[in-house]
């Protein structure tokens, strides 16, 4: 059995160890994992997919997932997860009225869900985020019109969302999901920045979700079933508010503070899912 692990070239360089960990874990099941870069798939304005037994799409490109799904190949995550999770505007639209998040503006549309701030009007300071940014990139604190103009220039032609600031800046929780179930949650904090990402120097520790936070996670995974992803929450007046879904979430910080081998768990989950698919086909 052969699986493709798909990355963009730059991300593949950053995640060499992660790819090797998957190769080693799959080898225990006699499965060969091949690293495939997106520029090898997109050639001369057409796609060259190849025929693996399954695909792990870490490229954040839902079209690749969709094309594989069309020819009956199992993709982790599904194209729908990749499509929604990698566009913050679509994510907030999708979850509007289902879980609380800070008042948000996307394509001139105000999206309100649960957190009432200033009559749900966005005012300074607020956060401007590129819809496709990840890992804390292209997220800007806005205190004036000048700040907004500079931020929009920096994200170039990408769509963006404007979101009212939460009260508890520099603090969030990442919840790791495998097969719609919570594996672990990690609290990230920063005293230097309103962004608490581990890759940007944030402090991390294991976190116990309360009952309400677990209900939010359940609501999201019921609406958008996930093979493996992360759900991030920020805090407003001490209460969790949804922030984003990471389709291609990293696990460095989880390994740094725990003995949880999440790659091994992901591989065991995928093998069970592939076995189910084989039984269903036969």
Cis peptide before 238 (omega within 30 of 0): no
Q: Which residue segment(s) compose the domain that 70 sits in?
A: 2-76
pLDDT for 195: 53
Residues 88 and 220 in one domain: yes
Residues 230 and 181 in one domain: yes
pLDDT for 270: 97
Output the pTM of the full model.
0.91
- For the chain, the three-class secondary structure string (H helix, E strand, C coil) is CEEEEEECHHHHHHCHHHHHHHHHHHHCCCCEEEEEEHHHHEECCEECCCCCCEEEECCCCHHHHHHHHHCCCEEECCHHHHHHHCCHHHHHHHHCCCCCEEEEEECCEEEEEECCCHHHCCCCCEEEEECCCCCCCCEEEECCHHHHHHHHHHCCCCCEEEEECCCCCCEEEEEEEECCEEEEEEEEECCCCCCCCHHHCCEEEECCCCHHHHHHHHHHHHHCCCCEEEEEEEEECCEEEEEEEECCCCCHHHHHHCCCCHHHHHHHHHHHHHHHHHHHHC
> Quick one: pLDDT band at residue 45, thresholds 50, 70, 90?
low
Q: For residue 183, is it within any domain?
A: yes
pLDDT for 197: 53
Q: What average pLDDT does the segment 164-172 reach?
A: 92
pLDDT at 158 over 90: no
Residues 246 and 174 in one domain: yes
- The percent of residues above 70 in pLDDT, for the chain, comes to 93
Residues 95 and 172 in one domain: yes
The domain total for the chain is 2
CATH at 130: 3.30.470.20
> Quick one: pLDDT band at residue 48, thresholds 50, 70, 90?
confident
Boundary (domain end) residue, out of 76, 101, 120: 76
């Amino acid at each position: 059995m052969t699986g493709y692990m798909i990355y963009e070239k730059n991300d593949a360089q950053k995640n060499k160890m992660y790819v090797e960990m998957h190769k080693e874990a799959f080898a225990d099941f006699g499965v060969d994992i091949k690293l495939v870069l997106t520029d090898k798939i997109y050639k001369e304005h057409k796609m060259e997919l190849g025929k693996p037994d399954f695909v792990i799409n870490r490229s954040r490109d839902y079209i690749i997932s969709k094309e594989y799904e069309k020819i009956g190949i199992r993709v982790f995550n599904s194209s729908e997860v990749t499509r929604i999770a990698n566009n913050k505007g679509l994510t907030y639209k999708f979850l509007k009225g289902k879980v609380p998040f800070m008042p948000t503006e996307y394509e001139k549309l105000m999206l309100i869900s649960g957190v009432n701030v200033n009559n749900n009007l966005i005012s300074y300071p607020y956060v401007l985020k590129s819809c496709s940014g990840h890992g804390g990139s292209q997220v800007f604190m806005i205190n004036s019109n000048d700040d907004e103009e500079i931020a929009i220039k920096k994200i170039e032609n990408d769509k963006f969302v404007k979101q009212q600031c939460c009260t508890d800046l520099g603090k969030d929780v990442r919840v790791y999901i495998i097969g719609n179930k919570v594996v672990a949650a990690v609290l990230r904090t920063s005293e230097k920045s309103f962004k608490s990402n581990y890759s940007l120097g944030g402090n991390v520790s294991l976190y116990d979700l309360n009952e309400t936070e677990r209900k939010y996670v359940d609501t999201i995974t019921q609406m958008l079933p996930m093979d493996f992803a992360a759900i991030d929450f920020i805090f407003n007046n001490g209460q969790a508010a949804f922030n984003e879904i990471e389709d291609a979430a990293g696990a460095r910080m989880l390994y740094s503070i725990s003995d949880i081998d999440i790659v091994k768990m992901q591989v065991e989950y995928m093998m069970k899912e592939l076995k189910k698919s084989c039984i269903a086909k036969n």
